[in-house]
Amino acid sequence: MPRTWRISHFDEACVRSLSSRLGVSAVLAQVLSARGYASAEQAGAFLDSKLTELLDPELLPGVCAAADRIVAAVSGGRKITIYGDYDVDGVTATSLLWHCLKLVGGKVEYYVPSRLEEGYGLNCEALRRFHEDDPAQLVVTVDCGIASVREAELARELGLELIVTDHHQFGSTLPPANALVHPRLPGTAYPFGDLCGVGVAFKLAWAICTRMGDGRKASPRMREFLLAAVGLTAIGTVADVVPLLGENRVFVRFGLQSLRERASPGLQALLKVTKLHDKSVFSAEDIGFSIAPRINAAGRLGQARLAVELLTTDNLERAGMLAAYLEEQNKARQTVERRIFKQAKELLEAHPEWNDQPAIVLTATDWHAGVIGIVASRVAEHCQKPAVMIAVNLDEQLGQGSARTFGGFDLHAGLAACAEHLQTFGGHQAAAGLRIVAEKIDPFREAFCRYVGSHHIVNPIDLELKIDAEVRLADLTVRAVTELDRLGPFGRSNPRPVLASSRVELAEAPRKMGEGERHLSLKLRHYGKTMRAVAFGKAEWADQIAAVAGPISISFAPSINRFRGQENVELQLLDWQES
């Protein structure tokens, strides 16, 4: 279905005022105006956010009780086990809290469940093992546990002290843990409810460091740790695709700087294999497309503990080995992902009736359960509807699934409505996971599609491409495009500016490029200005654009291509139309 372009309105007087008072280009001023920053004071505060804008950790619901219990356990010489999660948010949260507890003299270990064998969240078998090993220990979850009511009840029965820190959606009953730390706990009003798991862990670590300092401020050594920990927080925040506004934007903005200046041995090794170590400035896209996928690959392929080891080791040689291994794991993940996506499209072609359903539910017995979440995102985008991918284990007759939303549909609510067909499920509005008995997959498909059909309609706004400003290519100087980066870091709820130009001509014939010729390269001319554009994964546009007789309109995200000391503006083509 073609996308509708919606070019934002702006106030010309406001643009002139912002440009003059802030000393910025008209392009940046126009984008600021289009995004609702009407005054120079408001726009300036957004462009120049400060680390001091992070809220006092004591405000986070449950953090005081949790920090007090952890400090007491450290002082009493008790063992503390951090129970993490296998995605990037969980891995960085586990690593951050481990560093904190080691710094304050804690006797600490970490446990990351196997994605393939144990699944997401607390599990009873692990809690029983912890109790057998040391019944006096303290267990602290990060990025999981808020929906683990049965497991928390078992911990209480065993006498195992349990602290849950999480940010995911909770059910009607909260787990009976000794302390719950969550930015949206019922009956509380934390000013920013969109923290991810590692953001919650950072606030807890901050509260612990304050208590281990003078009670009001962390010691200089602990303060240095917290400044370095902002880098880990940035990685998990970008990877978990939470809104990059408020505290999350502050974490990522200053975390990118921290990664450059305070990277641990493991992160240094990771930056080297991703070829980011020579970059003077990092972007959120560097995390999203280079750093996070390699950390995530370990968890997706069942070895998340190695990713935590990478982020916690101080051994340079071991860090290099682990980073190289994660690089290979990521390549393997990419190969598996391409195969599964190809099979998903073949299933849809073989069952055209599924395309008429309000949601897509696909299953296979040879899919890798750790990779289907990525493919579910691609299927949802490809089909423009919510998608569920289920990998079925024939020996156990069980399916493990991942779901991704489209158009704002609430996945967690959808799965809750179909809970009678599921063994377990969890997640949030945009992404979720589930376990299901194989024979219940067809009834689940019918129930889920029926629920989506009655509770969600794909509106034209879901298919709109929001454009911040229409510009001439000549306006996109290196200075003007570099200035646009001040709006960043970019991600969910704060996307990179999307611009448009009309009556653009081809300077050369479109060219396919990249491995398998999957991408598109264009040379475009606009009122005498020539510029290069690329469209990733859109090689099919080459013949379509070449067949157009006249000029075209383009929508794009501009960026700076830095190569061998040269800086040039390059356009990432997002869509095009005949003028």
Distance of alpha carbon 332 from alpha carbon 294, whole angstroms: 11
Q: Are strands 499-506 and 511-513 parallel, antiparallel or unpaired?
A: unpaired
Which of 394, 425, 458 corresponds to the end of one domain? 458
The pLDDT of residue 303 is above 90? no
Based on the number of CB atoms within 10 Å of its own CB, is 466 exposed (0-12), middle (13-18) or buried (19 or more)? middle
Alpha-carbon Rg for the chain in angstroms: 25
Domain count, the chain: 3
pLDDT of residue 1: 54
Cα–Cα distance measured from residue 486 to residue 210, given in angstroms and rounded to the nearest whole number = 32
Contact 199, 244 (CB under 8 A): no
Does 34 fall in a domain?
Answer: no
Task: Evaluate whether residue 187 is within a structural domain.
Answer: yes
In the predicted structure, residue 11 carries a pLDDT above the cut 90: no
The whole-number pLDDT of residue 370 equals 83
Entry pTM:
0.88
Q: Check residue 481 and give its pLDDT.
A: 95
Mean per-residue pLDDT, 54-78 = 98
- Output the DSSP codes for 46-69: HHT--GGGSPPGGGSTTHHHHHHH
Same domain, 372 and 309: no
What ranges in 104-148 are assigned the alpha helix state H?
Answer: 124-133
User: Are residues 522 and 545 located together in one domain of the fold?
Assistant: yes
For residue 280, the model assigns a pLDDT of 84
Residues 222, 291 within the same domain: yes
Do residue 242 and residue 163 come from a single domain?
A: yes
Do residue 221 and residue 310 come from a single domain? Answer: yes
**Is 251 in the same domain as 266?**
yes
Residue-averaged pLDDT of the chain: 93
- For residue 109, the domain's CATH number is 3.90.1640.30
Same domain, 298 and 376: no
CA distance 21 to 177: 53
pLDDT one-digit tens code per residue, 431-462: 889 999 999 999 999 999 999 999 988 777 77
pLDDT tens for 142-177 read 999 999 999 999 999 999 999 999 999 888 899 999
3-state percent helix, strand, coil for the chain, nearest multiple of 5: 50, 20, 30
The two beta strands, 4-7 and 464-467, are: parallel
Region at 231 (left for phi over 0; alpha for psi -120 to 50; beta for the rest): alpha
Tell whether 476 and 380 lie within a shared domain: no
Same structural domain, 407 and 512: no
Q: Please give the Cα distance from 555 to 450 (Å, whole number).
A: 36
Q: Are residues 295 and 355 in the same domain?
A: no
**Using 50, 70 and 90 to split pLDDT, how confident is the model at 2?**
low
Question: For residue 205, is it within any domain?
Answer: yes
- The answer to the question of residue 337 being in a domain is no
| Domain that residue 368 falls in | 351-458
Indicate whether 125 belongs to any domain: yes
pLDDT score, position 301 = 74
| 58: confidence class by pLDDT, cuts 50, 70, 90 | very high
CATH number at residue 526: 2.40.50.460
Q: Which residues lie closer than 8 Å to 563 by C-beta, 6 or more apart?
A: none
Q: What is the CATH number of the domain that holds 361?
A: 3.10.310.30
In a domain, 26, yes or no: no
Over the stretch 483-494, which tens digit does the pLDDT of each residue have?
Answer: 999 999 999 899
Same domain, 69 and 207: yes
Asked if 65 and 138 sit in the same domain, the reply is: yes
Cα–Cα distance, 93 to 204 (Å, whole number): 10
pLDDT digits (tens, 9 = 90+) for 250-300: 999 999 999 999 999 999 999 999 999 988 889 999 999 999 999 988 887
